[in-house]
């Protein structure tokens, strides 16, 4: 990642650190790393972060740090890349695929496949997930290629300019065409995995819109305002309309689909370099579409 910024009159007299934080939106942690490795230049000369800049000065930042890949082993696993540039890569994840290696799933994950993709490009990178999906949730998952991009996108999630939309099929007919579920979510005290609604939990807000009424089911679009673990699944259970096929939160058997009918359909965010909004979409996969068709009959 490379930045070049010509100081304007309004920033004359400001420090290098001020420009890095306010104009280039570089985090304190990354600034410290840049400073330590002498990667900040003004008019082609190394500078300190406390140095004062004048109008017309050219500030350059070289944030392309060499990285170690870590312990994620490259594996030849098919993945569907739907967007990629020098900063990030977006994948269309199949259901049934774990995102990152764990004790129970040390290999065969999205991260293993992505690491091989990086190696085939001749680069060594860390796997930096910006968003995560449950094993049996399909759709868009985003990875940053560097620390700056990861922090830039993470800040957008916190200030709610990063938009995440999902589609799902839930049991029953939702009474309202649109609405908001505002219920705090906490980890269940008797489980490492399961979540539940609790006044002691973290704030969780999910907006929804009915797309289509089906045979005793509803096709729904969700937009997340917060990003709690299992948020949509827990909220749907809480309002009495669990997601079809959800083995953890539904309690209702179905032969329509063998996983939760939940798909990450769209993400939208401000690009870290161009500062333009990027929108990425993913159509529902075959098993989801089949369930829709059956419920339309």
Residues annotated as catalytic are 134
The rounded Cα 236 to chain-centroid distance in angstroms is 21
**What is d(CA 290, CA 254) in angstroms, rounded to the nearest whole number?**
13
The three-state secondary structure class of 122 is coil
Is there a contact between 47 and 88 (Cβ–Cβ < 8 Å)? no
The three-state secondary structure class of 209 is strand
Burial 59-82 (b: 16+ CB within 10 A, else e): bbbebeeeeeeeebebeebebeee
Q: Other CB atoms closer than 10 Å to residue 209's CB: what's the count?
A: 15
What is the rounded radius of gyration, in angstroms, for the C-alpha atoms of the chain?
22
The three-state secondary structure class of 237 is helix
């Amino acid at each position: 990642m490379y930045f070049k910024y010509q100081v304007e009159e309004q920033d004359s007299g400001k420090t290098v650190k001020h420009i890095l934080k306010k104009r280039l939106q570089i985090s304190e942690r990354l600034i410290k790393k840049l400073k330590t490795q002498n990667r900040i230049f003004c008019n082609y000369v190394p500078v300190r972060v406390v140095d004062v800049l004048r109008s017309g000065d050219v500030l350059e930042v070289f944030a392309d740090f060499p990285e170690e890949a870590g312990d994620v082993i490259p594996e030849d696993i098919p993945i569907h890349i739907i967007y990629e540039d020098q900063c990030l890569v977006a994948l269309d994840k199949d259901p049934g695929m774990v995102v990152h290696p764990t004790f129970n799933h040390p290999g065969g994950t999205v991260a293993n496949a992505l690491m091989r993709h990086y190696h085939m490009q001749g680069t060594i990178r860390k796997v930096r997930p910006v968003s995560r999906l449950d094993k049996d949730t399909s759709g868009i998952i985003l990875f940053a290629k560097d620390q700056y991009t990861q922090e830039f996108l993470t800040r957008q999630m916190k200030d709610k300019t990063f938009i995440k939309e999902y589609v799902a099929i839930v049991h029953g007919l939702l009474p309202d065409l649109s609405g908001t579920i505002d219920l705090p979510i906490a980890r269940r005290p008797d489980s490492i995995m399961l979540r539940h609604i609790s006044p002691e939990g973290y704030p969780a807000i999910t907006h929804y819109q009915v797309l289509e009424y089906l045979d005793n089911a509803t096709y729904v679009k969700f937009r997340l305002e917060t990003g709690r673990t299992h948020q949509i699944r827990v909220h749907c259970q809480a309002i009495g309309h669990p997601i079809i096929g959800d083995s953890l939160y539904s309690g209702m058997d179905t032969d329509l689909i063998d996983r939760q009918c939940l798909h990450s359909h769209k993400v939208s965010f401000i690009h870290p370099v161009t500062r333009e909004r990027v929108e990425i979409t993913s159509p529902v996969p075959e098993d989801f579409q089949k369930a829709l068709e059956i419920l339309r009959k």
